[in-house]
Structure 1
């Protein structure tokens, strides 16, 4: 005779296994079909950012004219950002190429010194890493950036179609779906879009502050290419954890080559890290408040995971995707625990307070 009490437990385990397999299947699809899903994710992110402008304009102007103005604004902002970033990185690459023999000599001396002190890995690294490899890597990254024109054209098409259909999709959701699913989708989308806009506003201001401070520190210390280091710090600050770390490592190695003193390079590294720590760990959380609070562990995990999934674009979009998932989970009681578990670690659980 079958124990009736074991039936609910077996059903719960089956649902859990099915959910895990569904998540794995979705991740596999996102990874294998990057060229399909990555432009869609980017387009949805852009639509969430610019929809308030489109909505206000189309109340005063014809919809197509409002759409043309919004697309012009997007294109201008995109080219302004990419032009500034390309200027900073290209100037740094040209400076490294011009000083290649001196930097290579410094690296060889450092590798020999480490080998003399028993650090054999330095010699193994020297066989695979040198300045030519670094320059080639930077040039390949630049080449990959140039090949993303098709990606952005597809994104632009999705943005145009999406902005034209926002109201239509909302009305269809209300008509075709039940009350609870429609509320979750519509309210979750609105809350996610609002959090996206706040995230980008705060991230932009913090990036400007970081870039200006790095520029000032580099200029005060006498480090060459101070404006370029500020621009690079500004751009990389949009990628949490990884970006700020890279933005401090590059100027440090350049300072080591320029000043030929590890003490000066260490001082530059320490000052830049203090700036990144103060702005990223003290100023930004107090500016954003609990609205964008996500567990630091989940932020780091999302950056690495989406970088593995979608490359450089995934590193940027990883945190917004996490914000969207947590926002939608907070819209329904059955998934509220996920938002509370992975969200602000200092916030009291809403379910517990409600109980």
Structure 2
């Protein structure tokens, strides 16, 4: 292949890749729930497959759906419990929170910042209404995402066996089925790793708050556990509530600063060092690829894309590893230097 042909070849590849990314970005209201649906189907399908061997098909289908409903309910239930516990803490420290809020405003005004200490009569509810409307829009979008994801899952679980039989009739069906099985296995390992890291983060946060004497220690550990399923953004959000409560529980800035440093250290060490290495080792991915995939899919699909970024990258690289022409890409993204044995995805 001469230089001109090679340049044309790579131009086509980069152009097709850019077009693919653009399509994913523009079609995210449809492709994002589809990706989540396929991800969750790959996790629960082994349960349905085993039940199908001994019971009628509808038993395995209902069991898979029930398992997903329990998982979603448990996740959002824990998140709601954390919000309720924070609300109880706000009620218990309402006076201290108000005092801290007005003291910060007074300090800012005394140091030349353009702020005013508001009276009740002077408060403008316009920004609050706007924030409430924005929050409702996000809730509606999340409900729509979850609803469409469940529709995809229900239809997919009903059709997955017939789809597998259709693939076996194709010339490359065995390669595709082998890739799907590997992807499903990697997805389950990914969930195990994320759950382990989230549990460890929540436990360390709880113990740290307990040692410092920070009240509602169980609440901060619970919130850290739930939010750490959301890469990066969840870690930031998990640090804010305990630091705010430390400012009203303790006098001075030493203890709040210590809470900030301690919780941030836990999040940074586990999120930026332990988590990528565990995921890279369990999934045969380079830790750098893990981090890049989270940011890349986060830019395309937002916060939900950051969560599903690693599974999406695993799926693409696993398919690439099945074909000789694209195997080099899977090798480059692997966590091991290929030797005699081929890197498995």
| Aligned match of 1:256 | 247
- The alpha-carbon distance between structure 1 residues 76 and 112, as it changes in their structure 2 partners (threshold 3 A), is same
Task: Give 1:350 shift.
Answer: 4.5
- Pairwise mapping of residues 285-324 of structure 1 onto structure 2 (< 5 A)? 290-324=281-315
| Aligned match of 1:168 | 162
SS of 1:57 mapped into structure 2: helix
RMSD: 3.4
**Counterpart among 332, 335, 338 of residue 323 in structure 2:** 332
CA distance in 2, matches of 1:238, 1:48: 18
Task: Give 1:106 shift.
Answer: 4.5
- The alpha-carbon distance between structure 1 residues 353 and 48, as it changes in their structure 2 partners (threshold 3 A), is closer
- The alpha-carbon distance between structure 1 residues 169 and 10, as it changes in their structure 2 partners (threshold 3 A), is farther
- The alpha-carbon distance between structure 1 residues 77 and 16, as it changes in their structure 2 partners (threshold 3 A), is same
Task: Give 1:334 shift.
Answer: 2.2
- The alpha-carbon distance between structure 1 residues 254 and 351, as it changes in their structure 2 partners (threshold 3 A), is farther
**Counterpart among 1, 4, 12 of residue 6 in structure 2:** 12
| Structure 2 residue ranges without an equivalent (≥5) | 116-125
| Aligned match of 2:337 | 348
**Counterpart among 45, 49, 58 of residue 55 in structure 1:** 49
**Counterpart among 54, 64, 67 of residue 70 in structure 1:** 64
CA distance in 2, matches of 1:107, 1:322: 45
| Structure 1 residue ranges without an equivalent (≥5) | 1-6, 117-121, 125-131
CA distance in 2, matches of 1:14, 1:147: 42
- Pairwise mapping of residues 277-288 of structure 1 onto structure 2 (< 5 A)? 277-280=268-271, 284=275
CA distance in 2, matches of 1:82, 1:50: 19
CA distance in 1, matches of 2:332, 2:243: 38
| Aligned match of 1:129 | none
CA displacement 1:312-342 (0-9 Å, x = unmatched): 3222111211222222222223222222323
- The alpha-carbon distance between structure 1 residues 110 and 211, as it changes in their structure 2 partners (threshold 3 A), is farther
CA distance in 1, matches of 2:133, 2:242: 18
| Aligned match of 1:92 | 86
- The alpha-carbon distance between structure 1 residues 103 and 304, as it changes in their structure 2 partners (threshold 3 A), is farther
- The alpha-carbon distance between structure 1 residues 92 and 349, as it changes in their structure 2 partners (threshold 3 A), is same
CA distance in 1, matches of 2:259, 2:206: 12
CA displacement 1:98-152 (0-9 Å, x = unmatched): 4653342344356468x67xxxxx869xxxxxxx979975884476235533322
| Aligned match of 1:119 | none
| Aligned match of 2:30 | 36
Check the 8 A contact 1:330/1:336 in 2, yes or no: yes
CA distance in 2, matches of 1:150, 1:244: 25
